[in-house]
Amino acid sequence: MYHQAALHTMVVSCDGIIEDISSVLWKTVLDSHSTTVIYPPDNSLSFLGILTLCLHAALFQLYRPVGVRVMLVGVDIWSYRDQIVVSTNPELTLGRFLEWRQRNLLPRTKHDNAQFITGVDFDGSTVGLANTNAMCTSNSGAVNEDHNTNPIGVASTIAHEMGHNLGLSHDAENCVCGSLISKKGCIMAESVGLVYPQMFSSCSQEQLSRFLEEVNPACLLDIPSTNRIHGGPVCGNAFLEPGEECDCGTLEECKNPCCNATTCKLKAGAQCAEGQCCQNCQLKPTGSICRPKTGDCDLPEYCTGFSASCPTDAYTQNGLPCNYGKGYCYNGQCPSRQEHCKRLWGPDACFYLHGNCRKSLFSQRCLSRDQSCGTLFCSGGWEFPVTSRKLFYKVGNGDICNEATMNPEDNYPADLGMVPTGTKCGNNMVCYDQRCQDIKNLKAYGTNDCSAKCNNHGVCNHESKCHCDPGWAQPFCDVQQSELPKGIVHVMLVDPHIDALIVSVCVAASLYFNPLFRSSSTRGSPRLGTTHISQPTFVESSATQACKPLSSPARPHAAALKPSRAAPEVSFHFDLTATAPGCCSHTETNIASVTFIII
């Protein structure tokens, strides 16, 4: 039976801009399953566009103080029919959405995180659900109920659920929000009151720093190109876009002495506004180091004298000796059994021995030459590994050998408990595909003579390109940068996200089945769900000594991808309760693109 809803006037306030959408006519249909169906008028798509920009603006402002920049790279509006079955059970809906994201959304829109917004009233008190530590994994996303006519309410829920994706848990009683000690009013509080949260607590900031350092979600370092940003260039969003020489945010928040916040142009006499090669609005001299090497397998980067940005982070060619000859470089790291034990079982763990060459649920006996590339057994450390599952064995002398195991439903790679890929297993031999193989037979390893083309002024990097010494120019390090032709004027456009984490977000919206706006609800306490944490990456090296930490281990080219210890973790639900409102910075880092999904 068809029902015609009354005429409404929608007023959306977004960052000082108020839009009146009058005479919005919603035609609703109640089908045999009591599912409310919405047929929006033509101008409702424009209204949703405004709403989406409001949500993004609010989310951007919530994450800016902690050095995370949320960039909107896509909006999916389901105006004809839902692409998944949207259940009142948030766990079912989350699972279906993440499957749809993997199958449908990611192949056509590159992003780091996807947020689904629905008008369906989730069961109980839940208004949002997300997996923990899931950023940059297949489970990087959340589902959110549109529980309030004010977009800020939904933005708060999205910020909360994205926080769980970034490894944040609910605030405890002793977490500091602003000048008060309270778990209410902060973004990661278990519930919010009538005043929506605007800050991350001290606990959340510490957890975020730990997540970025230990898990090192690599997708957040991938800065989206300006043509992927949804909504077009906007001066004042702190993101450098076409037509801008700089962008330091709004007039109120801009503290950059080199940039005109009103015009997004450099001030008179300024060569640059920010960047690792920009100092006091001037470019640093050629050869100034802007990114030191962090280990045997990393390469330092130097300012060119022509750009305010530090050159792309590069690391050595695979196969170079590292850690005093105990290993070979692989993807910027020096993998070892010793270091991998520490990442699985904590800093006090040590390598003990290796076992079968299992690659699945079944064990496969190693060939004699491959025994050093099998299952990794460790001693000491935490009671449980980061996977929260283990097998242990007692050996003849009474020592305990621990093996990290995985639940098939979790997001860990099947070989996480094996000796890491790239670990040294002999002279010019490395573990690859759980076999001890000759480096010269592996395509992942470069040729020994690659650096010959660099004219003794550089070495080959991981892309088999010359990485030149200070003052020498690519591609072959045969010309000094001071001898390069110079134009009359050098205007340096600086990407302000070089030192910030960027989250690219994709949003999907369904207009067909569920009411877009609902009156505010009261919600109770959270429920527990399943556990998911982001996949750690291997730190590969060659140490084989048992139960003794390396005296000077090589560090990877980026922060070690060491997963945080996970006593069994849970999925979090974000609940809204009618409680009294409470109140709620680390160095900027770039976050991944986010896709909003609105239904």
What residues are annotated to the active site? Answer: 161
Q: Are strands 68-78 and 501-510 parallel, antiparallel or unpaired?
A: parallel
CA distance 575 to 164: 13
DSSP code string of 26-94: -EEEE-TT--EEEE--THHHHHHHHHHHHHHHHHHHHHGGGTEEEEEEEEEEESSS-SS---SSHHHHH
CA distance 139 to 116: 13
CA angle 96, 116, 578 (to 5 degrees): 115
Q: How far is CA 207 from the centre of its chain?
A: 14
Q: Are 102 and 141 in contact (CB under 8 A)?
A: no
Angle (deg, nearest 10), helices 151-165 and 43-63: 50
3-state DSSP call for residue 454?
Answer: helix
Buried b (16+ CB within 10 A) or exposed e, 226-249: bebbbeeeebbbbbbbeebbbbbb
Cβ–Cβ contacts within 10 Å for residue 385, how many? 26
Closest to 123 (Cα-Cα) out of 153, 143, 141, 138: 143
Contacts of 16 (CB under 8 A, 6+ apart): none
Q: Is 160 annotated as a binding residue?
A: yes
Torsional class of 291: left (φ above 0), alpha (ψ -120 to 50), beta (otherwise): beta
Q: Is 164 annotated as a binding residue?
A: yes
CA distances from 223 to 220, 226, 479, 498, 500 (A): 7, 9, 30, 8, 9
Q: Supply the Cα-derived Rg of the chain in whole angstroms.
A: 26
Annotated binding site: 160, 164, 170
Annotated binding-site members for Zn(2+): 160, 164, 170
